[in-house]
Structure 1
Amino acid sequence: MRDVTTARTPTRNRGNRRTEILAAAATLFAARGFHGVSIEDIGGAVGVSGPALYRHFSGKEALLAELLLDVSSRLRESAVAAVTSPGSPEDTLDALLNVQITFALEQPALITVHDRELGNVPEPARRQIRRLQRLYVEEWVTVLAELHPACPPPRLRAATHAMFGLLNSTPHSAGELRPEAMRPLLRAMARAAIASIATIG
């Protein structure tokens, strides 16, 4: 008689497995590039065969698309939560900085993958990613406009992108310091960059 206490259901740990696959793919894509990684490589990293990954993703491009869609969506949702929470513009800016700095410190592989591999995402998903990113930027611009009302939106938007470049340098810079030391450094540098917006003609 079958021991039902040990029987696996088709959905057992399915969500966890999908998360494991995405994390492994991000690490491999960052280290070896999208074209340098096979489905078999990703499967091997999580202890399954390459073909078994097709239960979760239709292919390598779909996996890459979900990686970047997921992180873009999570960043935008976190920014919306920060902007809609009670508090002054300074409080909101602190919350936004925490969102971006946490991402930069905890997900350097995803930063590398986005910078290098977005062009390999199929076009419909790429448009969605770009749209989510634009919406994320606009949350920052809205708050910065409250802090620097005399600055035109294009300058605030350009400054936001430049600040992201500073914070998203962690694939190169974070290895020099422990996260608990890197976090205040990134925050201080970002704050200094923001403070300079209104002083530049």
Structure 2
Amino acid sequence: MEAAARLFRERGYHNVSIDDVAAAVGLTGPALYRHFRNKHQILAHALTEQLGAVEAVATRALAMGAEPEDRVTFFLSELGELVLEREEALLWKRERRHLSGDERIEFREKLRAVLAMALKIFRSAYPDRRETDLELLSWSVLSVYSNVREYREKLDPGRARELLEVMARAILACALEAATSGSETYGPVLRTPQGRRERILSTATRLFDANGYNGIGIEGIASESEMALATVYQNFGGKSEILNAVLTRGAEGLHYVTRHRLGYAKDPEGALDTIVRTYIELALGPHGPLLRIVASDLIYLPDEQQQAIRKSEREYVDEWVATLREVLPNIPVVEARARVQSSIGLVADITPIAAMCSRPHIADELRILVSAVLRSGSF
């Protein structure tokens, strides 16, 4: 399971064969079938086991006969150890959509159980917080701990654990009742593009988000676009070209809109607020599916196209980092980057959760949470 999880993370579920998994542990394909019926069963077991590891940490924290604050400290410390030692510990964020119907239901129940345990740990230490607010805070803390991949090798392990706890406690200290701006301007896209190419891209974005790149064929994109297959091929050479166009459009759009808004920022504080607000607005709106597709399906593009989009992502993160260090000049670059990547990941993780996005002030709440993560600690 560990070897498969590592390969799924590095290459993507559909790019890994049973023989690849067998070779990684020194077995033949037939020998592997003595333990698992197929690759799908390995994935289901791996994802369940990974959530189980988080559940075990929460169980130990709740079993402590200690003060509530001590349980929070233990939970955050142990969770940090888990995610920093096991790079595949939270593979489920990307690959859970490959689960079958019953497996998906079982997985959701287990995920809700983990959230409920985290909520119980935090509730005991913050009894005056509203239950609905604690739920958002709990999701946000779990998100921070699931976005360590990009910086885990660049920080000393001890400092990384310390930084994770600092960001988590900054989240738990957030006063969400201060949120005032509504989110009524965010919702599903109501109009279908009239141009053929735009309609294909819009439909493909919706289908990739719902089914995954490998879960829909080009014939399905043509059908959902209400176009002949020949018309789709007149605009794109194949499904991979459509995916590349979708992701390139998203990356370029993110840069363009951000740069446009930044032109009106009067100082570093205003620039940082502009970057945060713009990203949240895009994530809550039509740009949101693109963030999920990048996280899940970029790996299925040819290497050259992947690298081009990853380069664009790095440059976008660089904009955040440079601006944050204008506001907090004493923060080390690597820690600024860790906070930025945690913040971007937090928004990307929370916005697909329907119960969270239905909160009346979610846009402002996300801004408060991101600001807390970025400014956590004293500089």
* Pairwise TM-score range, normalised by the shorter structure: 0.7 to 0.9
Structure 2 matches for 1:155-194, cutoff 5 A? Answer: 155-178=335-358, 181-194=361-374
Identity %: 27
Identify unmatched segments of 5+ residues in structure 1: 1-13
1:42 positional shift: 0.5
- The equivalent of 1:29 in structure 2 is 208
Taking the aligned partners of 2:208 and 2:265, their CA distance within structure 1 comes to 39
TM-score by length of 1: 0.84
Change in CA separation of 1:54 and 1:130 when aligned onto 2, cut-off 3 Å: same
- The equivalent of 2:288 in structure 1 is 108
Identify unmatched segments of 5+ residues in structure 2: 1-192
Root-mean-square deviation (CA, aligned residues, Å) is 2.0
- The equivalent of 1:88 in structure 2 is 267
Taking the aligned partners of 1:178 and 1:171, their CA distance within structure 2 comes to 10
Structure 2 matches for 1:1-201, cutoff 5 A? Answer: 16-106=195-285, 107-178=287-358, 181-196=361-376, 198-199=377-378
Change in CA separation of 1:163 and 1:21 when aligned onto 2, cut-off 3 Å: same
TM-score by length of 2: 0.46
Which secondary structure does the structure 1 equivalent of 2:338 belong to? helix
Change in CA separation of 1:181 and 1:130 when aligned onto 2, cut-off 3 Å: same
Taking the aligned partners of 1:62 and 1:120, their CA distance within structure 2 comes to 11
Letter in 1 for 2:211: R
C-alpha offsets along residues 23-64 of structure 1, whole Å, 9 cap, x if unaligned? 111111121111111111101111112222011111100100
C-alpha offsets along residues 143-194 of structure 1, whole Å, 9 cap, x if unaligned? 1001110011111111111100111124532443437522111111111112
Q: Which has the larger radius of gyration?
A: 2
Aligned partners of 1:82 and 1:95 also within 8 Å: yes
Letter in 2 for 1:108: G
Change in CA separation of 1:122 and 1:165 when aligned onto 2, cut-off 3 Å: same
- The equivalent of 2:25 in structure 1 is none
User: Which structure is higher in RCO with an 8 Å CA cutoff and minimum separation 6?
Assistant: 1
Taking the aligned partners of 1:184 and 1:52, their CA distance within structure 2 comes to 43
Taking the aligned partners of 1:170 and 1:24, their CA distance within structure 2 comes to 23
- Structure 1 stretch displaced more, 123-132 or 142-151: 123-132
Taking the aligned partners of 1:92 and 1:45, their CA distance within structure 2 comes to 40
1:86 positional shift: 4.3
Change in CA separation of 1:171 and 1:143 when aligned onto 2, cut-off 3 Å: closer
C-alpha offsets along residues 96-154 of structure 1, whole Å, 9 cap, x if unaligned? 01221012101332222111101111222211101111111111111100111001111
Aligned partners of 1:72 and 1:132 also within 8 Å: yes
Taking the aligned partners of 2:306 and 2:357, their CA distance within structure 1 comes to 34
Aligned partners of 1:111 and 1:168 also within 8 Å: yes
